[in-house]
Structure 1
Amino acid sequence: MENTTTLGCLVLLCIFITFPRTKGACRFRRFGIDCRYSCNCPGGCNDVNGVCRGPCYPGWHSGNGTVCQTKNIAYNGSTKQSSNYYTFKYLSNKAVDGNRDQNIYDGSCSHTGLNKTSASWQVNIEPPTQIYQVKMYYRQDLRKRFRRFTLYLNDVDEEWRVCYHHQKDSIQSIVNVNCNITTKTKALFVYNERGTPETSGQSYERHAYMELCEVEVYVCSKGTYGDCRQFCYCKDGPCDFITGQCPGSGLCENGFTGQHCQTDCSSIGKYGVNCSESCSASHCFNRQMCHRVTGRCLDGCQDGWIEPTCVKHTQVVPCHLSVKVNSDATELCIRSL
């Protein structure tokens, strides 16, 4: 009896090591298939879909009922501005400290010097990254000063490219900008200028200011794209976080399919390369549930079939009988005691 118990324990251990669970039971604030994604929230997340119960870590966004897979790569970055206000309360780094407070008197915003005809602010992006979405929080009570600003991106080839130029007479204190520039950016530069009242127009002030309270530059975590809530499983590395396109060969990992390799084969009753094999061909206890790569039946076999793939069946007879066994069966016999 002691030997039987030991053998049973060894078999269970072997199964655990060979076939780790792919969904559920993730630890160390991770989630998803093979627990490959980080929750990015201190309170932990649902270990299947990554939904965080509370807020994200600083520098990550969303949470509180959704995933924390949107990263602000400007957070705590290296910054500079063209000049400083006469006190050192409004330095350039105030715009990347994670505080979105737009009341400048709370000391939460940057502020360039007085009596200038131009003003600028810059944050370095490390490592250089393709930028798509930028969100800027300006001083709320004097947002008109932000009108006609230009947002530039400095790419790895040292080219300064215009991402956006504001041309309207009105402006909101929170500005969202999408950049259609595919090269990697190493610095983001916000610029504004003013001339005389005659050349600037009556709606403009004589002097230029830059009073940014927060600048956020969003990218998705690796393996997510679009709104950073969609997941891709590409063979040759993470997909493009904007388009979801897979790099290199454009192929999916084994066990996934779809335009962006987003579909788990097991979720549609299939397995293998590009979901080319059907789970229903096996004799799984649940005919539609098998491992996305190997075809192993996740809930075991139907009676009389052999794990892990349940494609061979057993044939139990008394051992003293001569039995012809089919090629796809395994002969088991019962000896008389």
Structure 2
Amino acid sequence: MSDINVAVGKPANQSSTHSIWVPDKAVDNCTKPYVESGCCSHTDPINRTTNAHWDVDLGQLMTIDDITIYYRAGYAKRFGGYQIYVYNVTSTIPTLCYSDMSSAISDVKLTVTHQCPYVIRYVQVYNYRLNPKRHEWYSDHAILELCEVQVWGCPVGRYGDGNCDSVCSGKCYGGNCNATTGACFYCAPQKYGDKCDNDCSINCLNQICEKDTGNCNGNVAISGTAQQSSNMDNTRWLAKQAVDGCVQTTITSGCCSHTRAIGPNTAWWRVDLGTLVTINAITIYYRDNSQYRLARYELVRYGPTQPLSTTRRRCPLLRGHQYYFSSCTVDDQTPVPVCRDTY
């Protein structure tokens, strides 16, 4: 990895502590997977808790790629079912990065690296135990024994070369880039390429093109006129924020729209593309950890002269003027298989 471990020596805490195995032991740069080595953290195994967590504060926003965990050797029964969360402020709901779904104890890897491409400040490792247990081989109670947690990334605006001493291109939209390669996450309108050095063709609609290839199959909804059935807040989470080019899916990112949480049992969001456009696909980035709110949604289109009360055609369609996104409220326990859909 050409980025660095940004967790070394950072402040850590855990839900409880067993004897001398304090949370800081998991960020001391020692990867020996034995508690006798003095390199591991350990939550309390005596009080028989149903959940346990360990957290590290990276001190500032970091662009991260991967998280590596060294767990105590021989204790897969305690590690099984663990989850990794990331978040920016302590008052927000963390974003799930990984959830272990191992069905057999032999499937649990005690030294493991997970991709986790986020801009975050905090990392949490969490585990829990239900009654009855999900698997018979699980430990009876929630215990964490982390010997090292490595978070690979760079401070926002910097990347790679083993020490994060390179600065992201000034042409990167928002000033941030991949912590390993330095490739821009986003380009300003009418630009494309890894470092956003290239101009989109003037033949592209509004001179908008795909960020990686320069193809004229860009997002024609950007800067379209958007509306929604209601506003959760009249200053934040407005309809236009769903077509601002930002695809972060946390509500605190300022990138999402949001209708009122209390009110009618239907909600809608729509965008006017401004002209007739031939389209190939529609991609939706929905709010993290809110899949139950997306259940039973419909994606339909209508033309410039069709009122909303008329019959609307469901996608997929190849040609349209406006697109209408409708969701119906459901019971909070209704499962939804995916959070992001492409049409």
TM-score w.r.t. the length of structure 1 is: 0.48
| Bigger RCO (CA 8 Å, 6+ sep) | 2
Q: Which has the larger radius of gyration?
A: 1
Greater share of residues in helix:
1
**Higher strand residue share:** 2
